[in-house]
Structure formats: structure tokens, C-alpha cells
Amino acid sequence: MGRIAALTRNPAMIALVAALAITGCASKKTPNSAADLGLNGAGAATPGSAQDFTVNIGDRIFFDTDSSSIRADAQTTLARQAQWLNQYRQYAIVIEGHADERGTREYNLALGARRAAATRDFLVSKGVSASRLKTISYGKERPVAVCDDISCWSQNRRAVTTLSGAGS
């Protein structure tokens, strides 16, 4: 219940949930374009907008406990992100690294930083210019999910790709 409440307080998470729901209905893994999603009734996002990125591409990846390795599912998301970012080059990008609460504050600042760096390096390996990318660690200070169990911790161990600069 706390988890639902948390989700509904966070617009980014609502967007993500919507995107997942749609992907589920439309028996295909990944929408090819925002227009596809438009047909499904949720693609109001203008292609190339920040909303398009968040809703249709997915702005975040998740990590295993105490790990900064990019998981296979996260690699898929990041490859999608890189393709989009290489198409819409007007954006500067800040990657936020986060940790769950099951670690001490200072260590988690370091762990969040390592996750952000790993995410950045993956995007660079997919052709995104390093000069567009900055990182910041929030450690465990900015949880999106606030319950005290695994279902929340796994959502909080994340790196979020945020767009700044032009557009949106």
C-alpha cells in the first residue's frame, strides 16, 4: 500500500508504470516509435520530448544489491536510451545514481556514484558523447519507493537518466 502511494506521488513512476502496462497489452516487447504508442492511446508525448524519453524509452535501470554491474535487462534499456539520445542531440544528460537503504549513508553515496558512472560508460560505449553526460550520486537520500522491504529496495537501486538543456 505504501508502495502504491509512493508511486502515485511520483510522476516519473506513474509514467513508467503506464509504459509497462502498455507494453504488456500490446503483445510486443518494445514499441518501435511513439506513433505506435499513440495508436494505443498513451503516446501523447511528442517524439523527442522529455516525456517521450521517460514514457516510451524508459529513463531508469535497476541494479542488484550492492552491485553496479549493468544487468541484461538494463542493457536493453540503455541501448534504447542511447539510440534515442543519439537521435535527439540537443539534450545534456545527468545520470543520477541511487542506492537502497540497506547500506550506510557514506558507502551508499559511493555506491550510487559507481552506478551512475557504470551507466554513463555504457551509454558512451553505445555512441553517446561523453561531453553531454554528467553524473551525480544521491546515495540513499532520494528513494522513490518507501516501504521497508525488498519490493521497494529493488526499485530504489537505480540509475536515472535525466535530460536537461534544450527542449522538453
> What is the total count of residues that contact other proteins (CB under 8 A)?
34
Of 136-165, binders to other proteins (CB under 8 A) are 136-139, 141-146, 148
**Segment interacting with other proteins (CB under 8 A) among 2-10, 21-29, 41-49, 70-78:** 2-10
CB of 78 to other proteins, least distance (A): 15
Residue 117 lies near other proteins (rule: CB under 8 A): yes
Nearer to other proteins, 84 or 153 (CB): 153
Residue 73 lies near other proteins (rule: CB under 8 A): no
The answer to whether the Cα torsion of 61, 37, 14, 96 is positive or negative is positive
| CB contact at 8 A, 91 and 163 | yes
CB of 49 to other proteins, least distance (A): 24
d(CA 79, CA 88): 14
Specify burial of residue 151 (Cβ count, 10 A radius: 0-12, 13-18, 19+).
exposed
Specify burial of residue 35 (Cβ count, 10 A radius: 0-12, 13-18, 19+).
exposed
Residue 20 lies near other proteins (rule: CB under 8 A): no
